[in-house]
Amino acid sequence: MSEPKPQPRLIHVRKPLVRVEMNMEPVEPLDGPVTRGPLIRVSRPLKRVTLTFAPAASVRLTLPLVGGADGERTFEKLAAIIRIVNEMEALWNRAGVWVDGARSGVQGGEVVIVLVPNDTADALATCKRIAHILFNASPGATVKVFAAESEAPVYELAA
């Protein structure tokens, strides 16, 4: 009896995708040597590539810091609310959201948190639902929902 053929390893990508642009160029002639290493073996050696991720939709929560409030502390409080919202989403077997750390933080006298759905299926509906929950839980906040192709919000809740 022969041993089962090993299955290829899958690459796990944390961010939901709408589109990916990938450029690969040979680094050696096609008839050059094939090397082994930590990368996935392909029929010819390739240069490293950069994947560009475009989220299907996102939620941007903005809360002004009033009266010298501590921005980092306010950010942590909002992050705690988001963790609770994710727990609620899990109770209903929904994928929830993740905080985009590159676009979130204390910026210009306000706390900004950008959230992206974990699942691209019905991403806009997920963002609207999360926007309502966060708007009701964060007095004085402005919550905007953006679609992937749009720089202007497609949905907005403001105090």
Provide the CATH topology of domain 57-157.
Alpha-Beta Plaits (3.30.70)
Give the 3-state DSSP-derived string for the chain, with helices as H, strands as E and coil as C: CCCCCCCCCCCCCCCCCCCCCCCCCECCCCCCCCCCCCCCCCCCCECCCCCCCCCCEEEEEEEECCCCCCHHHHHHHHHHHHHHHHHHHHHCCCCCEEECCCCCEEECCEEEEEEEECCCCCHHHHHHHHHHHHHHHCCCCEEEEEECCCCCCCEEECC
**How far apart are alpha carbons 68 and 61 in whole angstroms?**
19
Q: Give the model confidence (pLDDT) of 42-66 as tens digits.
A: 566 666 666 666 678 899 999 999 8
pLDDT, average across residues 101-108:
90
Whole-model pTM over 0.75: no
Mean pLDDT for all residues in the chain: 80
pLDDT computed for residue 33 by the predictor: 56
15-35: pLDDT as tens digits: 555 555 666 665 555 555 555
Q: Any residues with CB less than 8 A from the CB of 14 and at least 6 apart, and which?
A: 98
